[in-house]
Amino acid sequence: MPASRVPAAARRLAGLLVLALALSPLAACARGGSPDRGRPPGDTPGVGTGPGAEPGAEPGEPPAPDSAVSDWLAYLTLEEKLGQLFWVGLPGTELTDEIRGLLAEGKVGGVIFFGRQGSDPDVLRRLSGELQAAAAARDRATPRLVIAVDHEGGLVQRFGPPFTQWPGAMALGAAGSSAHAEAMGRAMARELLAVGVNMNLAPVADVNNNPANPVIGTRSFGEQPELVARMASAVAAGLQAEGVSAVAKHFPGHGDTAVDSHLDLPVIGHARERLDRVELVPFRAAVGAGIDAVMVAHVVFPAVAGDGRPASLSPDVVTGLLKGELGYAGVAMTDALDGMAAITDTYGVEEGLVLAVEAGADVVLVTESFGRQQALYRRLLQAVEEGRIPESRIDDAVGRVLALKERRGLLPPLPGAARGEGAEDAPSSNSVETAHPAGAVGAAEHQALADRIGADALTLVRNAHLPLALSPGEQVVVIGPAYARGLDGADGVVTALGAGIKALHANTVEVALEWRPEPDAIAHARSLAEGAAAVVYAVADGHETPAHLALIRELIAAGKPVIVVGLGMPYELTAAPEIETYIAAYGFRDANLKGVGPLLFGRTPARGRLPVSIPGLYPAGHGLDLP
């Protein structure tokens, strides 16, 4: 919505955000993953852009006097209440008989979209509409659905083109601009609402301070807690100012693990003092700024969880730390319980569901168990009926979910008798029909913003060759990423990287290599590079790939100017210290690549600063200016 229409609730929350950012050391001084697996002081989101949109109060505040949450709690049956906690996935682009049955009985409160739903805006809009219609087609009043998706940008963005393909969080961290972060959140929200999605499972609030982390990496804004807090809060502010719920994840922090919770159960053994000083900083900021939901990780924190359980199943973490100590009154949700070995191989999905709700989870995600959704819902209901989960725990959880839905316009009017005398019907917002128009998806101004963020993130870490000064007869050979969006290659370039360089130096040719290239592809790249005056070599996490490292070293040893562009975590220098010129781009989307050409030829400044340290070489905050 336009800034002039941001409600009082959003303005109050923006004040909290500005205060939180003002207390951050980086608020005044902000400068300085692989495909398979500059800024002004005090740069903060402005008043009127903070999390929280009409109608209703923000998390952490008492419900508004006209809130309908208590009436809804009195109206819903136990089975319907439990349904508000139970959020599921779909196997494709059609409603299954199983999901139709759950919706017909009011046993689902939310649906999570994935890549398997595709990226066609018309299909997504139709699917969202069908889901909402099926939820509403009962003879009893039913809250509308939360429809969510992982839309972080970078490595984790379920919707591909024509949706704007955003740089990831680490690029935002390198650019360091809260204004960029908030604007990106707003643009994301407009595109999501255009297809009926009203929750973004973002931002990632993990502090990525472990170079061996296999699952977070460039999904994090960086290794400095204050930077992560500032940027995550700004993205959330943008999302929620436009009416899309934001979700801070993965509480209390997944950034310092060397284990992927999709594959095993990570353990973070730091003392509580360290958690307070590092991991919890961004989450405290998000809670203080009124974020709608917090996703709890499947990670064990012995310093907090005396029961030894992963955070998502531990009362010590969910109820004690998040809701008690941090005072969080919004929705605590689990990460997926049925698609991650941290739960499935240790507790099992059925027991995991019960333990999560017992621990204080207000929403449980069951995204992969097609054909078992009804049975899993019944297992939860059985745990309540047997007294293992008190109904008071269900009422607390449902009250939080209903409050979120009320803020986002997802509570239709109750029948008159159920809502008391004199109650007036209230219009519902966030429907597919009243959301942003289809033209919001991939809008030109959104792509321009993505390109600006990507260019501002480019970090000149080491420099011996820039700016390039080549004669027209001298050739630039670009070794680009085959996993980036491909061009037709008719003019000798195959990615946005090559195209951006060729636009400034016509004698440019590009060859693309996979993340793990075949020997014949390496040989072809080598033969092209032999006649080059300069080689631009772009690679994601090349420090982990012997074939790339060997070719980089060979080209440098031949005496050629080699400019290495890092498209993942910026650690190539740790494996190949002989690299003389290194640019960190933090991703392989077009927006990460387009700005490289202008930087190479000195047409634009090098604005980015490292959001993570390069072990043994450069600290976070390092970055060179062009001479």
**Catalytic positions, written as ranges:** 262, 335
**Which residues, including other chains, have CB under 8 Å from residue 430's CB and lie 6 or more apart?**
144, 193, 198, 243, 408, 409, 410
Report the amino acid identity of residue 13.
L
**Which residues, including other chains, have CB under 8 Å from residue 370's CB and lie 6 or more apart?**
89, 91, 96, 98
Nearest alpha carbon to residue 403 among 432, 362, 354: 362
Q: Which residues pair with 111 in a beta bridge?
A: 88, 147
Q: Where are the alpha helices (DSSP H) in 461-575?
A: 496-502, 519-529, 546-557, 572-575
How far is C-alpha 568 from the geometric centre of its chain's CA atoms? Answer: 16
How far, in Å, CA of 533 to CA of 471, rounded? 10
User: CB-based burial of residue 206 (10 Å sphere; 0-12 exposed, 13-18 middle, 19+ buried)?
Assistant: buried
246 to each of 192, 227, 335, how far by Cα in Å? 12, 18, 14
How far, in Å, CA of 425 to CA of 433, rounded? 19
Nearest alpha carbon to residue 586 among 603, 563, 609, 605: 609
DSSP character string of 273-312: HHHHHTTHHHHHHHHHTT-SEEEEPS-B-TTT-TT--BGG
Half-sphere exposure of 259 (CA within 13 A, CB side): 14
Instruction: Evaluate the omega torsion of the peptide bond into residue 55 and state whether it is cis, within 30 degrees of 0.
Output: yes
Total residues found in the chain within this entry: 627
Give the tokens for residue 170: 């680490």
**Which residues, including other chains, have CB under 8 Å from residue 179's CB and lie 6 or more apart?**
43, 45, 234
Element (H, E) at 353: helix 349-359
